[in-house]
Amino acid sequence: MTLAGQVTVEYHPVAFFDDKSQGSQYSTRAVRAVAYVADVDPAHFVTFHEALLANQPLEGSAGLSAAQIAAVAVKAGVPKAVADEITIGGSKFAKWVAADTAQGKLDNVDSRGNALVWGGAT
């Protein structure tokens, strides 16, 4: 339905699990990486987002390193030059990630993912 133009999908990645990543702030780093790719290489955003979810580390682990996040990006089709800049480029989205995560908490978004239809939770 998305491809047919019948629905619009908006992504609002949130960083809920920083407290479960041994101080590495993996959730924040992953969301910043996704935001950066969405900004500079939007054609690979969805594929990269899905690849990060498929490679999501266990709760309580340190999460993926910056190099591992970049490797996931490259496997998802993100050009290596873009992937190499994820850590630096992603940092410019720090305020956005914090604000989007705070809004998600206010909207009762949880870690399972949520769908809104006409602005209401389903």
Q: What is the pLDDT of residues 16-57, one digit of tens each?
A: 888 888 888 999 999 999 999 999 999 999 999 999 999 988
β-pairing verdict for 116-117 and 120-121? antiparallel
Residue from 20, 53, 9, 8 nearest 34 by CA: 53
Whether 1 maps to a domain, the answer reads no
**Are 85 and 36 a contacting pair, CB within 8 Å?**
yes
pLDDT tens by residue, 76-88: 999 999 999 998 8
Residue 101's domain spans which residues? 18-121
Whether 49 maps to a domain, the answer reads yes
Judge residue 83's burial from the number of C-beta atoms within 10 Å of its C-beta, 0-12 exposed, 13-18 middle, 19 or more buried: buried
Total domains present in the chain: 1
Q: What is the reported pLDDT for 54?
A: 93
Whether 76 maps to a domain, the answer reads yes
Give the pTM: 0.84
Q: What is the reported pLDDT for 49?
A: 94
Q: What is the reported pLDDT for 82?
A: 95
Residue 122, number of CB atoms within 10 A of its CB: 7
